[in-house]
Structure 1
């Protein structure tokens, strides 16, 4: 599947937030995000696509890590995928309580790990939507707004994350993200 850029927000210091329609496993960025479950068993949704296309190394490394709290992130290699690494971020399942706060923690954990590892580009799916049941509109609002805030608050303009993209599949999810991009364009 060919990826298509849908929208873009220029943040500051040359940092860009992009909305892409496509397959995250094909993105040529430093790191992609896997919306994982706490046990890092990659059997459904985006996680199963990543493992199926990559092979067994990601699941083997995940098994060694074991458990990750909701709202937290960890990292593995990427096997044969075009990215350098995979950040596994555990978002909330709808109905478990404090979902908005947990999703905010998850995206900030993911972006923080990306920054600490020195990656300049990251591709993120709609964490917690899909099989975790988080509503698309709430998901898009939290992920887009938290990412803009994170990028605006970075101190050093010469280092760190330059590109954050949301790589989305599915018409309804894409529409929710497009709405948030349009509404969130900052004035600089």
Structure 2
């Protein structure tokens, strides 16, 4: 699998699947989650309500339609909220491994990832980058391209350095 890095807006990525850093409720939120729900329209929320009536556990992954996004699917993952005391790194890495497993089930060959938990959930940037890169490199998958989408220069620079 090729791992690429781009700076930009994950909602504009033309890939088979976009990964959403969701919350447990699966009803939309802030950050990446809010942006994906706004850009994708009401179909994503409707599918979340139907497919995840009780939400999704931290570290788990599931999929919905992508609505109006240029992707076919949204793969939702719930990263650990470090600011709320969730410090188990395995919960973070399971988001990436789980997203790849769901992508394989769907037949997705290109997947765009945000840096899960690195925003309002407070995971330190350097470890968020390391967890993403290590897990994507170490997980067997049929995905051909994992695109890490950096929102901002610090994340972009850290990702480029980690992949060098």
1:169 corresponding residue in structure 2: 151
In the superposition, the TM-score normalised over structure 2's length comes to 0.93
After TM superposition, list the pairs within 5 Å mapping 1:66-85 onto structure 2.
66=53, 67-85=55-73
Shift of 1:60: 1.5
Aligned to 2:24: 38
Are residues 1:29 and 2:11 paired?
A: no
Matched, 1:116 2:105: yes
CA distance in 1, matches of 2:136, 2:40: 27
Hey, what's the Cα distance between the residues in 1 that align with 2:132 and 2:30? 21
CA shift for structure 1 position 173 = 1.6
The yes-or-no answer on 1:94 pairing with 2:82 is yes
Q: Distance in 2 between matches of 1:174 and 1:94?
A: 21
- For 2:41, the equivalent position in structure 1 comes to 55
Structure 1 counterpart of 2:5? 19
CA contact (8 A) 2:23 2:78 kept: yes
In structure 1, runs of 5+ residues without a counterpart are 1-14, 155-159, 183-188
TM-score by length of 1: 0.82
Report runs of 4+ in structure 1 exceeding 2 Å deviation: 95-99
1:178 equivalent in structure 2: 160
- The number of aligned residues is 161
Residue by residue, what CA displacement relative to the aligned partner does 1:78-120 show, whole Å, maximum 9, x if unpaired?
A: 1111100000001101153443111011111111111121111
Mapped to 2, the partners of 1:168 and 1:90 lie a distance apart of 18
From the CA coordinates, give the structure whose radius of gyration is larger.
1
Decide whether the 8 Å contact of 2:77 with 2:99 is kept in 1: yes
Gaps of 5+ in 2: none
Structural RMSD (CA): 1.2
Q: Which of 123, 130, 137 is equivalent to 1:148?
A: 137
